[in-house]
Chains A and B, each alone.
Chain A
Amino acid sequence: MSALSEEIRERIRQEFPKYPNKRAVTLPALHIVHDAMRAVSTDAIIGIAELLELHPAEVHDTMSFYNFFKDEKHALGNHRIWVCRSISCMLRGGEEVLEKVCNKFHVHPGQTSANGKVTLEFAECLGACEGAPCILVDDECHMDMNAESVSALIEKL
């Protein structure tokens, strides 16, 4: 029995007509699984490989290249916060924002808070440098952060 529910499998199949081969559905499939399950487990990799007619090692090879996807030992919390550490944010106080978020959840970057609420990550340039320092909460960008505004934002999560 597949680790993937029929609903997820169907959503992956719906991607097939967009591409001339199934391998190209690797990233869309990883996103679908990752969004729904907050991680891509080894069993899920096997499930994706079956659907895409690939060897699981091929799916794993692609998945592991992108830092984005978490394996089952590092499942995401309810929210994922990315704090930009690249040049434009660094120049305008990105470190203070990062420190605030770390202290708030008692985590280091890459870790998930004990209550499972938040996974904290570094980001490389988020492309919102006019509003540096900026952070991404899930995939929504928040600009012009400082220690106070980031605290207020986190409180609402």
Chain B
Amino acid sequence: MAKFEPVLFARINKPDSTSLTTYKADGGYARIKEFLSMAPGDVTNLVKDAGLRGRGGAGFPCGLKWTFLPKDHPGPIYLCINADESEPGTFNNRILMEKDPHQLIEGIIIACHAIRSSNAYLYLRYEYGRSYRVLDAAIKECYAAGLLGKNLLGTGVNLDIVLHRGAGAYICGEETGLIESLEGKRAWPRIKPPFPAIEGLFRQPTIVNNVETLCCVTQILYRGGAWFKSIGVPPDPSNPRDPGSYGPKLYCISGHVNKPCCVELPLGVTARELIEEHAGGVWKGRKAKAVVPGGISMGFLSDKELDTKLDFAGPGKVGCLGLGTAAVVVIDDQTSMVDVLFNCCRFMSHESCGQCTPCREGTAWMTKILTRIRIGQGRIEDLDLLMEVAGSMGIIPGTTICGLSDGAAWPVKNAISKFRGDFEEYIISKRATETSAQKLMEVH
């Protein structure tokens, strides 16, 4: 197969890639006046027809989301940019923001035109200090150059972008949690419907889009929907509900590989190809035992499932929750899945917002049960108990408001069904793996 030329990442290694001057020299903003003169509905249709699905985790069709806004709404419409990237293993948006902020800003301008919004709020996780400084400078450059503010480039379009820093909470990546947080409240996700497109930020119609999604919007406008659709995987003819997985995707690869990296490839590469051809193989000459396909909430692929295509449909075919953020984390064959699952459960327990009982209690109890197993006091029945707790929480059984809970349950379900032997062996041999540092890490 011919080497894929990166598009979203085309500029990231160029010198001074963050400045307006170099972005313009590379053709950026060259056609922005033309795009702003298009009818908003035509921009939406272009993005919809390109088959762009949201890159934040859920994979919802982007253009379709935009069409859910009410027509002729008399008040303001908001765009929220979800830059709260916090799914363990995920760092693609950070690179996009740190290295090519104007690609994102151009996407924001286009999206705001399509949805008739003059107010965009970029919700950035606090930990991304460098992204904050780069974006802040880039936004200021745009105001000075007339690319933001009143009467943008004389087109009559107004647009303000507000950079809003979070305060370290994973749940703010859930779109209604993000909205609540932006409003100055605790980030408790809202019951849907109403969906944000009908009633979102400040009770007004709101679209929440991920950073990479908006960068794709920029590229679709310049290169066309047909170009986007020429990349990736078409719909599965046997599944009438599959909209396909089109376009390039930023895959993050971390964990036990020789060269952890983020690489842009057509949607649908296999986990094996990512590990072998892009991340330098599993480290220390070892083999992979398990692979996280798209952030820990998506569960695990076993070593028999490494040829799974990482498009939107692939991971689901082998029992994972989905593609998620396409963050691939490789776990080698010397690592116990007990330790890995404990880490996942502790994360979810720490990050559960506490609003829904099955999630708040379920994540805490799963962590406690795994702690018990790790200190050598586990029982074989604990594995069924973990499965029972995991099966009772989430949107899928219908007991919680948001999907954090499904994402907490999925690694448990996958780990125990695919790696049961690891857990049984661990429990029976009462292997105690605690080091002093691990004890410290259990303080919280």
Contacts and interface: CB of A to CB of B under 8 A. Distances in A.
B130 A122 contact: no
A95 B86 contact: no
B372 to A, nearest CB: 19
Contact of A125 (B90, B187, B331, B440): B90
A69 B167 contact: yes
B169 A110 contact: no
B129 interface: yes
A23 B183 CA distance: 6
Contacts of A37: none
Given A65-B186, A124-B86, A139-B129, A87 B440 contact: no
A129 to B, nearest CB: 4
Contacts of B79: none
A110 B444 CA distance: 9
A155 B437 CA distance: 21
Nearest to B262: A130
Contacts of B165: 27-28, 31
A125 B87 contact: yes
Contacts of A127: 85-86, 90-91, 93-94, 125, 127-128
Interface string A119-142: 000111111111110001011110
B272 interface: no
Given A129-B252, A131-B260, A28 B126 contact: no
A148 to B, nearest CB: 16
A51 to B, nearest CB: 12
A62 B260 contact: no
Contacts of A18: 160, 162
B130 A140 contact: yes
Interface string B176-202: 000001111111000000000000001
B127 A66 contact: no
B8 interface: no
B1 interface: no
B277 to A, nearest CB: 16
Interface string A71-87: 00000000000100111
B328 to A, nearest CB: 10
Interface residues of B, number: 64
Contacts of A126: 127
A102 B260 CA distance: 27
A61 interface: yes
Q: Is the interface of B mostly helix, strand, loop or mixed?
A: mixed
A115 interface: no
A150 interface: no
B255 interface: yes
B29 interface: no
Contact of A122 (B90, B436, B438, B444): B444
B260 A129 contact: yes
Contacts of B94: 127-128
Interface of A: 18-21, 23-28, 30-31, 52, 61-62, 65-69, 82, 85-88, 90-92, 95-96, 98-99, 102, 108-110, 122-132, 136, 138-141
Given A88-B254, A129-B327, 17 more contacts: A23-B183, A23-B185, A25-B184, A27-B164, A27-B165, A27-B182, A66-B167, A66-B169, A87-B347, A102-B437, A108-B440, A109-B443, A124-B347, A125-B90, A129-B260, A139-B130, A141-B130
30 contacts: A21-B183, A27-B166, A30-B167, A31-B165, A52-B184, A62-B184, A68-B126, A68-B167, A86-B89, A87-B88, A87-B292, A87-B347, A88-B254, A91-B254, A95-B438, A109-B440, A122-B441, A123-B127, A124-B347, A126-B127, A127-B90, A128-B91, A128-B94, A129-B254, A129-B260, A130-B91, A132-B254, A139-B130, A139-B132, A141-B127
